[in-house]
Structure 1
């Protein structure tokens, strides 16, 4: 199952299933599904089974492309448009060691003993598209590949 968020013509974020080049609005294909990723994650345990059933119907062709929106006609947002929190894990040892060396501090032994993460700016999450930078930001530009994991439970 692939879920995406996109910008509607009215300027709202909309949750949709993605399948073979088409987006299917969750709340249009089934009345019990929420229309935003935030609500989907909040009510995860209540909606996941229905979402899986609807996704299977889309894949099987029981819900046709007539109900969908071509991906080419949509502006994708970040998968979770308004995340409440974001943590970044220190997973690549060489990167951490180089960053600490550049700051003139020794490598921390805890890196090898515990999973380490830090809270990062949850407002900086973006979807696909142009990345806007100020000219002086290009002097030391560092891009990283990031993967997201969404945990849908309290605690």
Structure 2
């Protein structure tokens, strides 16, 4: 399933799923299926995707049943079905419960540190590290991203995100995948000049990451990726383009610490909840900081940045 949050022309942000070239509203399609006697869920599906995830596996099972019913009867004339083309999408979770961003691709860490004349920190290999970022600053595909007035060194970061779908604490790596609702493309925008100064103090990054994180265009469930799964990693090509020119290329399977290990670390002594977002950190070659400004200048207003991950779609934003 490909879950989305779309902007309804009259009713605001609503949860749905992609069905071919259409978006199907979750709540209204459930009411329709119940009327037809084809949905045994006693309560309606929620309007918001966060509440949908909080409802547990039963919600996903009902959504799949609705999709099968639509395959049988078609979508023509149904007022809860909108064309995907032209319908604005928000981040799948416009306001996640929390956002932890890890630093899990070795190539990125080595290269970025090497450009600053630094060796690898031995402790990096001991356990995956992360920072908390602003979960209230998520933006979706095709939405403009303002360049903060305080930065001249605006950068993108090509990442993959997992969204937690099942509550858990002290989760083991062996059980971690059952806690994932799905994967999505993530762009962790960075103000590099601000980040460079604040980390010298021994904290952060903070303000250098505070202003925007892009996620989308949809949340893809793991059953759609079983054929490219290798344990707790996925063979998915990752690319980034600026103004149509490819700058970054990597693969999600190159991650040093798997998402299973990231989830285990994040949940050590702490409860994770449905709607928590966990970022992988930047894939190798996945940002201008790593590539160098001789390859591409820092981002400026008017630039269009596209993140693409195989199976997960294209996340496109324009800098303003």
**Larger % of helix: which?**
1
Alignment partner of 1:153 is 2:192: no
Q: SS at 2:85's partner residue?
A: helix
Q: Alpha carbons of 1:34 and 1:132: their partners in 2 closer, same or farther (altered >3 Å)?
A: same
Aligned residues: 153
Match of 1:72 in 2: 85
Cα separation, 1, equivalents of 2:124 and 2:73: 50
Match of 2:136 in 1: 123
| Residues 101-150 of structure 1, C-alpha deviations (whole Å, 9 max, x = no match) | 6777653222222222222211222101222213653x322111222211
Aligned equivalents of 1:120, 1:104: Cα separation in 2:
27
Aligned to 1:13: 13
Mapping 1:10-89, distance limit 5 Å: 10=10, 12-31=12-31, 32-58=44-70, 60-67=71-78, 68-89=81-102
What is the CA–CA distance in structure 1 between the aligned matches of 2:19 and 2:114, rounded to whole Å?
45
Structure having the larger proportion of residues in strand: 2
Consecutive unaligned residues in structure 2, runs of 5 or more: 32-43, 169-320
Pairwise CA distance, 1:28: 0.9
- CA drift of 1:97 comes to 3.7
Q: Assess if the C-alpha contact under 8 Å between 2:95 and 2:137 holds in 1.
A: no
Give the structure-2-normalised TM-score.
Answer: 0.43
What is the CA distance between 1:23 and its match in structure 2? 0.8
Distance 2:9 2:155 in 1: 34
- Residue equivalent to 2:146: 132
CA distance in 2, matches of 1:57, 1:153: 26
SS at match of 2:97: coil
Aligned-partner Cα distance in 2 for 1:125–1:150:
14
Mapped contact 1:37–1:81 kept (Cα < 8 A)? no
Cα separation, 2, equivalents of 1:30 and 1:124: 30
**The one of 81, 90, 101 aligned to 2:103:** 90
**TM-score w.r.t. structure 1 length?**
0.83
